[in-house]
Amino acid sequence: ADTTLYAKWVEHRHTFKDEWSSNDTSHWHAATCEHTTEKKDEAAHVYGTAGAERYTCSVCKYVSETRKREAEAADKKNTESKPVKVKRTEANDAALNSKFNVKAGKTVKVTWGKVKDADGYDVYMAYCGKDKEKVVKSVKAADSLSVEISKLKKKGINQKENIKCHVLAYKMVDGKKVTVAKSITIHAAGKKNKSVTDAKSIKLKKTSYVLAKGKKAVVKASIVKKNKKRPIINHISEFRYATSDSKVAVVSKNGKITAKGKGSCSIYVYATNGCAQKIKVVVK
C-alpha cells in the first residue's frame, strides 16, 4: 500500500547567552543551543570621543588595545605640545621690581625690570591719598621698560604731591591679558614737597643667612635718606619684603624669615620708594 510520510513540525527557538561575545570589530550574543554559529544582535563596537570611551565599547565594554594605544599616544602628544601655564610668579615679581623706580618731578619717570615672556606692561599711578591708581600708560612692547608721565587727572604734574605707582606685566593668552607679574606700590616724594623725603639706600646688617629648615631669622635694615632733615613718607610700612621662592623661605611683613625647604633663594627688602636690597638665604 502507498505510504504517505508527513514531516512533523517541531518548533525550535535558538537560545542565547545574556553576556556579550566579541572580537576586535564587533559584539553579539552567542547561541547556547546546539546551533553554535547562530548570533543575536551582532553589531560593530560603539566608541565615544573622549577619555576611555575612545577605546571601550559602550555596549559590550570590549577594550580595543589598538585604539587604547592610539588614544594614549595622542594624549601624550597633547600634553607635550601645550604651552606652560601662564601665571604670576614670585620670580617674575622680583624681576619686575628689580629695576622698579619712580622719579617724581615736572614729569614722572617710571622704569622697571624686564619680565621674561611678558608681552607688555600697564603702569598705574595716582597722587598719594585716597585716589585709586589708574592706568596712565599701557606699554604694548616686551622690551620697552620705561615711561614718562606728564599729566595726572588731565593736568600737569603737581610737584607738591607725592606719587604712588605700580606696574603689571602681562602676557596675551587667547586675546586676553594675563598678569604674569605685579610690582610693589612705590610711594615717591613730590619734587616740591618740602615735608618728606625718599630713601637713598637701604643698609643691611647681614646680607646672607644659612638656616636649618624650620629656623627663623629677622632682617635688620635701616634707611639712608636723601634729605636727612626730613622724614620718609610714613603712610605705608618703612620696609616691604618678598621672597623669590617661598618653597625655600618665606618672609613676614615684619621681616621675619622662616626657612621652609632645602635650597637657596633671595629675600628682597624694599623701601617706600622702591629702593631695594637683596639677601641671600640658603636652607640646609
Q: Tell me which residues touch Zn ion (CB under 5 A).
A: 14, 27, 33, 35, 45, 57, 59-60, 62, 128, 164, 187
* Minimum separation from the CB atom of position 17 to Zn ion (A): 13
Task: Give the nearer residue to Zn ion in terms of CB position, either 91 or 236.
Answer: 236
* Minimum separation from the CB atom of position 49 to Zn ion (A): 16
Task: Give the nearer residue to Zn ion in terms of CB position, either 30 or 218.
Answer: 30
* Minimum separation from the CB atom of position 34 to Zn ion (A): 6
Task: Give the nearer residue to Zn ion in terms of CB position, either 47 or 88.
Answer: 47
Task: Give the nearer residue to Zn ion in terms of CB position, either 128 or 168.
Answer: 128
* Minimum separation from the CB atom of position 187 to Zn ion (A): 3
Task: Give the nearer residue to Zn ion in terms of CB position, either 14 or 99.
Answer: 14
- β-bridge pairing 120-127 and 151-152: unpaired
Task: Give the nearer residue to Zn ion in terms of CB position, either 35 or 140.
Answer: 35
* Minimum separation from the CB atom of position 134 to Zn ion (A): 15
Task: Give the nearer residue to Zn ion in terms of CB position, either 14 or 182.
Answer: 14
Written in H, E and C, the secondary structure of the chain is: CCCCCCCCCCCCCCCECCCCEECCCEEEEEECCCCCCCEEEEEECCCCCCHHHHCECCCCCCECHHHHHHHHHHHHHHHHHCCCCCCCCHHHHHHHHHCCEEEECCCEEEECCCCCCCCEEEEEEEECCCCCCEEEEEECCCCCCEEEECEECCEECCCCCCEEEEEEEEEEECCEEEEEEECCCEEECCCCCCCCECEEEEEECCCEEEECCCCEEECCEEEEECCCCCCECCCCCCEEEEECCCCCEEECCCCEEEECCCEEEEEEEEECCCCEEEEEEEEC
* Minimum separation from the CB atom of position 67 to Zn ion (A): 12
Of 229, 158, 159, 239, give the one whose Cα is nearest residue 197: 229
* Minimum separation from the CB atom of position 162 to Zn ion (A): 5
Question: Using CA atoms in the order 85, 89, 94, 95, what is the torsion angle rounded to 10 degrees?
Answer: 10
